[in-house]
Structure 1
Amino acid sequence: MNIFMKLILLGVAASVQGFAMAIFLFPHYIPSGGAASVSVLMNYLFKIPFSITLLILNASLLIAAVKWLGKSNALWTIYCVIVTSAIIDILSPFLVEPVSNVFVDLVIGAIIFGVGVGILFRLGASSGGMDILALIISKTRGVPPGRALFFINASVLLLTALLVDWKIIIFAIACQFISTRVLDVIYKLPIPTVITKMYKQIT
């Protein structure tokens, strides 16, 4: 029952994250994080397909997750990556144009994205990519995961901006700033007594 509850909660959180990416961020070509930016950079510099870079990066970070965060975290992360990808694939064909202008969609998308990732982090999972590295740094250094994720992604995004295109990257950094602030709020949010008991049962 505990595993079933965690499957549901992580599935919902991963779906929320995928919804934010597919509906509000990707229609404006705003990268959701450092992993996407690394794939853009590798494709631009070496013509390596996006999928290959993402596969190698996620596989490497998942190996690190097994060592530093445990097998359970790695397995839950794989599950969340699958759910997020599925939601994006399902929703993307229905998007003919962005919901609103880039500034409105950026703020709304970043907030929703931060909520989804925050819940994943709270339950001991992640959405893959640089999220895993942020969790490792948070665990080993005691740094809030949102702050670690922001500096990791901002560094990669800035490098991509210098070499590829600075316009979209500015929006991506703004997205990271908003979403990681929301992430830290969710991560530190006090849980009511009833929810605390449920939380302890599934973690």
Structure 2
Amino acid sequence: MIAFFQKNGLVVAGGTIQGLGMGLFLFPHAIPSGGAGGIAVLLNYFFHLDMGFALWIVNFSMLVVATKYLGNKSALWTMLAITITSITVAFCEQYYLTVNRNEWFDLLIGSIFLGTGIGILLREGVSNGGVGVIALILARRRNSLPGPALFWINSSIFIMTGFLINIELIVQALISQWISTKIVDIVYYYRFHQAYTLDWRRK
């Protein structure tokens, strides 16, 4: 029971932190936060959908993949994570206005928040939604860090988004993705390193 509430708290925290990175810092400048964020930006641009709702649609569609390859349990945790993230993004859009903010500063802070949130989720075996599902599947199969796969998958979506909306977004999105995936690997690795150290000390 304690483990359940601990994981629940970490999933909520991870979803909230990545939602703040998106809603407060990245989305106000139309900077895609990832593959799902890039598709959400496209949906917002072409269909004028609310960013939080568009993000939820994209992430929900990936639950089918999560259910098949990660199991029903992981899919339920993923559903909680993306719902918390979408609510956080919608809240930020509705109640927080960005005026005269430096987009490069926001890109840096938003990417750190984003990477921290995603890292917390992935180390709990929970996808952050979107292509994070694919990155988590690849990381488990290859027994590797999820950052590199996340970077290359998202980069291809960023390029498409940039060409369709604004070419400058490609550079900003790639920089954001590089920073956030580095943070993801740091947070994701820390747990295994800590676990190894504790196990070694017990011996």
TM bin (shorter chain): 0.7 to 0.9
Q: 1:11 to 1:48 in 2, by over 3 A?
A: same
- Matches of 1:68 and 1:143, distance apart in 2: 17
- Matches of 2:126 and 2:160, distance apart in 1: 27
Q: 1:153 to 1:78 in 2, by over 3 A?
A: same
1:69 is matched with 70
1:119–1:186 Cα contact (<8 Å) kept: yes
Letter of the 1:61 partner, please give it: M
Sequence identity (%) = 39
Query: 1:141-160 to 2 correspondence within 5 Å?
Result: 141-160=142-161
1:61–1:133 Cα contact (<8 Å) kept: no
1:12 is matched with 13
2:30 is matched with 29
Range moving further from structure 2, 58-67 or 152-161: 58-67
Task: Kindly report the root-mean-square deviation, in angstroms, between the aligned alpha carbons of the 2 structures.
Answer: 2.6
1:118–1:183 Cα contact (<8 Å) kept: yes
1:182 is matched with 183
1:200 is matched with none
The Cα of 1:48 is off from its aligned counterpart by 5.6
In structure 1, the gaps of 5 or more residues are 198-203
The Cα of 1:128 is off from its aligned counterpart by 0.8
- Matches of 1:54 and 1:88, distance apart in 2: 9
Q: 1:8 to 1:53 in 2, by over 3 A?
A: closer
Query: 1:88-127 to 2 correspondence within 5 Å?
Result: 88-98=89-99, 100-127=101-128
Length-normalised TM-score, structure 2: 0.83
The Cα of 1:160 is off from its aligned counterpart by 2.1
Letter of the 1:93 partner, please give it: Q
Q: Deviations over 1:68-109 (max 9, x none)?
A: 111111100000111111122223223222573111111111
Length-normalised TM-score, structure 1: 0.83
In structure 2, the gaps of 5 or more residues are none
1:191 is matched with 194
- Matches of 2:10 and 2:54, distance apart in 1: 29
Letter of the 2:160 partner, please give it: L
Q: 1:182 to 1:98 in 2, by over 3 A?
A: farther
1:11–1:80 Cα contact (<8 Å) kept: yes
Letter of the 2:29 partner, please give it: H
Q: Deviations over 1:148-177 (max 9, x none)?
A: 111000011112222332112321111111
1:27–1:98 Cα contact (<8 Å) kept: no
1:42–1:48 Cα contact (<8 Å) kept: yes
The Cα of 1:50 is off from its aligned counterpart by 4.9
Letter of the 1:140 partner, please give it: R
Range moving further from structure 2, 160-169 or 103-112: 160-169
Range moving further from structure 2, 9-18 or 137-146: 137-146
- Matches of 1:85 and 1:10, distance apart in 2: 13
Aligned residues: 194
